[in-house]
Chains A and B, each alone.
Chain A
């Protein structure tokens, strides 16, 4: 069970956070875990490379099963532990289809966010290759993406989750990205539906239990996105 699992993770990494939310939702607290520092590049250590040849986080193992892709781990946990904790894949075909659609759009959302918030990090774009024109374009693309999600939530109505009335895998995988946009200073006045969604989910036990520790230590966050 949880004791046969190990998660290697980094604080504030949305992919890691996704797996942690899923573990909480499936009542699998007590899993073995190790926090790596992303800044100190500990994620290239031997311990990590032994389980994940890509040297990336999250790295998740259950018995002999290795799931290093966050979405793979989430689907696996829901399947393996279907009968315990929260039911994360709804039965209704329309709701299920919407869940899948939003989950995979969530990958695009995450990518468009990263090219803005990590633009000035050397590991993302080396200094000599940065251009104002690129950053401007990336920001515009992110705004378009945010407006799409704002529209999705508008259509579903207040208090709704991403695929409808119930919390699903779509929320597990997309909320960490939403949490990150607000951490980086997105204006809830300009994106009220996303703000509402953020406020709803941040109180959920699984989300609270897995909230990035360094965000708790310094609640203020950054302001990279405050003007978009």
Chain B
């Protein structure tokens, strides 16, 4: 059960956060966990590499089985613990289809926001171009408008349907991360409503990134 699980994680990392939300939702509190620091390079430590040869966080083990990809862990946990805690994937095939679609669309949102947030980290100085920065910002803006549109159509405070689902598990940490990095609540009111609406959900509150609690928000995305 929870005692057979180990999670090595970093504060504020959406993939780590997703797993923590699922563990809370499935009543699997009490799992072994260790908070590591990206800044200190602890994600490349021996301890992490033993579970995740890619040297990335999350590094998660369910018994002996490594599940280091956050979506893999979330899907597996929902399947294995289907009968306990919140039902994250409904039986209704139509709703399931919408949930699956949104879950996998998050990849586009993650990629487009990462290339803007981390441009100077990912791209060495001699390879940077203003044309690329501009294009990346425009792509992120278009992507955010899509999600703003999805939430416009949503009616119950969840990304799909009337209940909290796996789609929210995957989407919420990414959206919260964007606001933590200065995304404008005025320009993206539906996203902001979604972000604030789920902030106090027990699983989200319990797993809120500790380093965000007293830290001021970054401003990187304020002009997007």
Q: Which residues of A contact B (CB under 8 A)?
A: 53-54, 62, 64-72, 75-76, 79-80, 93-94, 96-98, 100-101, 103-105, 107, 126, 128-129, 131, 133-134, 148
CB < 8 Å neighbour of B69 from A75, A94, A104: A104
B93 within 8 A of A: yes
Contact indicator A101/B68 (Cβ below 8 Å): yes
CB < 8 Å neighbour of A97 from B62, B70, B127: B62
Cα A134 to Cα B128 with chains together (Å): 11
On chain B, the residues within 8 Å of A80 by CB distance are: 93
Could you say which of B97, B98, B146 has the most chain A C-beta atoms within 10 Å of its C-beta? B97
- What are 15 A-B contacts defined by CB distance under 8 Å? A64-B94, A67-B100, A68-B101, A69-B104, A71-B104, A72-B101, A75-B100, A76-B100, A79-B96, A80-B93, A101-B69, A101-B72, A104-B72, A107-B107, A131-B127
On chain A, the residues within 8 Å of B76 by CB distance are: 96-97, 100
Task: Name which residue of chain A comes closest to B64, CB basis.
Answer: A94
On chain B, the residues within 8 Å of A96 by CB distance are: 76, 79
On chain B, the residues within 8 Å of A148 by CB distance are: 53-54
Contact indicator B101/A100 (Cβ below 8 Å): no
CB < 8 Å neighbour of A104 from B71, B108, B126, B131: B71
Q: Which residues of B contact A (CB under 8 A)?
A: 53-54, 62, 64-73, 75-76, 79-80, 93-94, 96-98, 100-101, 103-105, 107-108, 123-124, 126-127, 129, 131-132, 146
Cα A133 to Cα B146 with chains together (Å): 34
Contact indicator B127/A72 (Cβ below 8 Å): no
Task: Name which residue of chain B comes closest to A53, CB basis.
Answer: B146
B223 to chain A minimum Cβ distance, whole angstroms, is 22
Could you say which of A65, A67, A97, A134 has the most chain B C-beta atoms within 10 Å of its C-beta? A97
Contact indicator B93/A129 (Cβ below 8 Å): no
Could you say which of B65, B98, B123 has the most chain A C-beta atoms within 10 Å of its C-beta? B65
Contact indicator B131/A126 (Cβ below 8 Å): yes
Cα A96 to Cα B77 with chains together (Å): 11
On chain A, the residues within 8 Å of B105 by CB distance are: 69
Cα A103 to Cα B75 with chains together (Å): 11
Contact indicator B131/A129 (Cβ below 8 Å): yes
On chain B, the residues within 8 Å of A94 by CB distance are: 64-65
On chain A, the residues within 8 Å of B108 by CB distance are: 54
Contact indicator A79/B65 (Cβ below 8 Å): no
Could you say which of B101, B129, B132 has the most chain A C-beta atoms within 10 Å of its C-beta? B101
